[in-house]
A and B are shown apart, each in its own frame.
With several copies, the nearest count.
Chain A
């Protein structure tokens, strides 16, 4: 079974990219691939709670991330430096993502057969 890492690097709502990555990840999981998700750069903003996409006539991305565990997707990671750059604390995050330093990031990438970041 191949291990696939998706890297979310965009904030929610500004563009379609976060939604389209989640869609791809869910289908990949359905096809039997083992999927992991890393939040990096502006992607860390996806982890704030109390999002409400309806304000912009959009689906709520945060709610979809909350639902990942229902699909048995538990491998969630967040880039420590991306949090630091934005003044975000782990305690503010709505999901239990594992915080990675540089060595952790390099191991994560090296430990996967495919990595997608689009």
Chain B
């Protein structure tokens, strides 16, 4: 049965569950399912930080999400409130807050919790990956 499966990631990028979320998404796509959106909340918001640089012999989940999302049209949505508490900012907010730089990783968008509520309503499954 083909399903719409949305993901909620609240694990930080360096936690095991963040890596498991990525593998789950790959398997869901390989299984013929649609993954319309991954919502990054809580410590998961750090996924959207373009300056993450894990050790070279370890996983780089942000980079992997960018590739996967680009190939399959998945929306990578970072909650704005969670992001600001954790130092992730897009260009618009940086300008408004008079910060000289922004650091949202390409491929990610910043938005509100309504994007989570939407997939609660529309997706057939919501699978969550806490830290």
Contacts and interface: CB of A to CB of B under 8 A. Distances in A.
- Asked if chains A and B are in direct contact (CB within 8 A), the reply is yes
The binding surface of chain B is classed by DSSP as mixed
The binding surface of chain A is classed by DSSP as loop
B59 A56 contact: yes
A33 B121 contact: yes
19 contacts: A20-B41, A23-B81, A23-B113, A24-B113, A24-B116, A27-B112, A27-B113, A27-B117, A28-B117, A31-B121, A56-B16, A56-B59, A57-B19, A58-B59, A59-B55, A59-B58, A116-B8, A118-B8, A118-B42
A24 B42 CA distance: 11
A14 B120 contact: no
Contact of B117 (A15, A20, A33): A33
Contacts of B10: 118
B129 to A, nearest CB: 9
Contacts of A109: none
A89 interface: no
A15 B98 CA distance: 28
Contacts of B42: 16-17, 20, 118
B109 interface: no
B85 A27 contact: no
Given A16-B42, A59-B58, A116-B128, A31 B114 contact: yes
Interface string A45-77: 000000000001111000000000000000000
Contact of B114 (A13, A16, A20, A27): A27
Interface of A: 2, 4, 13-17, 20, 23-24, 27-28, 30-33, 56-59, 114, 116-118
B118 A31 contact: yes
B95 interface: no
Contact of B14 (A4, A16, A31): A16
Contacts of B41: 20, 24, 118
CB-based closest 7 A-B pairs: A57-B59, A31-B117, A27-B113, A118-B130, A118-B10, A28-B117, A16-B14
